[in-house]
Structure 1
Amino acid sequence: MTHYAEVIGHPIAHSKSPLIHKFWLTQLGLVGDYRAQDLQPQDLECYFAERAADSDWRGCNITIPHKIAALDFVSDPGDVRSSIGAINTVFRNDAGALVATNTDAGGFYGPIADIPIAGETAVVIGAGGAARAVLFALAQADIGEVVLVARNGLKAAGLLAHFGLKGKVIGLDARLPDAALLVNASPLGMVGQEALEIDLSPLSEHAIVYDLVYAPVETPLLKAARMRDLETVDGLEMLVGQAAIAFELFFGVAPPDDGEDALRALLLT
């Protein structure tokens, strides 16, 4: 039988994860597969029970809306629940246990690792699973202040407290503060979701605008940022970064170092 991994979510048709993992499997000459599985929230428990019994299943990536709920059905030896509070990857360890982890934080931080943001102000839009990974990474990077843009002010304030971050919560219709970094960690702007309508004029000319949405890759937020000649990071950067960490957990080997341009071209078709 062939070892395989999956990405689960609802909806899932937009996911580019199968393209990424299959590209690397082909490049490395590995026998394996990577699939997309549309999964309703009520089916999570059954899904993990079935996959636990399937020795060919190596793990899964997890996207909206399962990043928090999936924690209830897998082991968490690294206590991701208490740190980030959401997972995006489950893998089978050497003992056969299904183990939770989160590769989003590393995938998010990679593209901005060389940018000095310690002590600066960041604006983060969203308060879900992806936002948790972003806030965790920013806390590790010693960000000075975080302005969290969210509909649920109480939930968002709780996230700032959880990660020990200084800052405040504002609504989606509030004027942005000046900031060194703006991150859209919400689904707004994604295909099938509401548009993200936000005025970037308060940002300084040195600000970086980072949109985690990758379907479409060229989001209205990034277009607006480029119209102001701001530096941008698109969702493919984080997607590929977090996938690389997960791929090694699934298949026991790191993705190849070359082929980045070919992979990006594939993802943009």
Structure 2
Amino acid sequence: MRGTGKADVFVMLAHPVGHAKSPGIFNEIFEQKGLDSLMVPLSCRPEDFDTFWAGITAAENIRGVIISVPYKVPVYHKCAAAHDRAARVQSANSVRRQADGTWYADNFDGVGFIDGLKAGGHRIAGRRILQVGAGGAGASLTYC
């Protein structure tokens, strides 16, 4: 049964968050696997981010957060440790809570995009590209 008092809670953070598909996708996976887990979409105004993040951190059953615009860089700076992918662009698209309660950042925007191109049969090596945008996702893509 999903969503009991013992559930692991995950958050999709964006502003606005109404466009986010992650909660539906993850909740379907949790249901299929019989996990007592759920993902909820949450948003806050950028000027309230520090207060919001303190609340997320205080909520002990929040295990991880998927991050979207405009929070990829600010969330990265709230983390105690990071994967090299996130550290080199100082941006996170996902964080997980570590055993000591601190956050660990990762950013797989770039590698996910490149893997998708390769899976679609697109040759990348030796090709020229035009990249428009260098925000959290764009910066991650640049380093792949």
Deviations 1:37-87 (A, max 9, x none): 112112222222222222210111111111112222222343556412311
**Alignment identity in percent?**
27
Separation of aligned partners in 2, 1:55 and 1:92: 9
Contact 1:9 1:37 in 2 (8 A): yes
How far apart in 2 are the matches of 1:58 and 1:101? 14
Question: Does the aligned pair in 2 maintain the 1:60–1:89 contact within 8 Å?
Answer: yes
TM-score normalised by the chain length of structure 1: 0.47
1:116 to 106, 111, 123: 123
Distance 1:123 1:40, change over 3 A: same
* Residue number among 40, 48, 52 corresponding to 1:43 in the alignment: 48
Name the counterpart of 1:95.
100
Q: 1:130 aligns with which of 115, 137, 141?
A: 137
Distance (whole Å) between structure 2 residues aligned to residue 44 and residue 74 of structure 1: 14
Please say if 1:71 is aligned against 2:76: yes
Partner of 2:18: 13
**Structure with larger RCO (C-alpha < 8 A, sep 6+):** 2
**Paired position in structure 2 for 1:107:** 112
Instruction: Kindly report the root-mean-square deviation, in angstroms, between the aligned alpha carbons of the 2 structures.
Output: 1.8
Moved over 6 A (4+): none
SS at match of 1:83: helix
CA distance in 2, matches of 1:82, 1:29: 34
Supply the AA of the counterpart residue of 1:126. Answer: G
Residue 131 of structure 1 aligns to a residue whose secondary structure is: helix
Q: Which amino acid aligns with 2:124?
A: I
SS in 1 for 2:129: strand
Larger Rg: 1
Query: Which runs of 5 or more structure 1 residues have no equivalent in the other structure?
Result: 138-269
Q: Is 1:3–1:32's contact at 8 Å kept on the other side of the alignment?
A: yes
Where do 1:57-206 residues align within 5 Å? 57-78=62-83, 82-114=87-119, 115-137=122-144
- The two structures have a TM-score, normalised by structure 2, of 0.85
1:12 Cα deviation (Å)? Answer: 0.7
**Whole-angstrom distance in 2 between the partners of 1:97 and 1:57:** 12
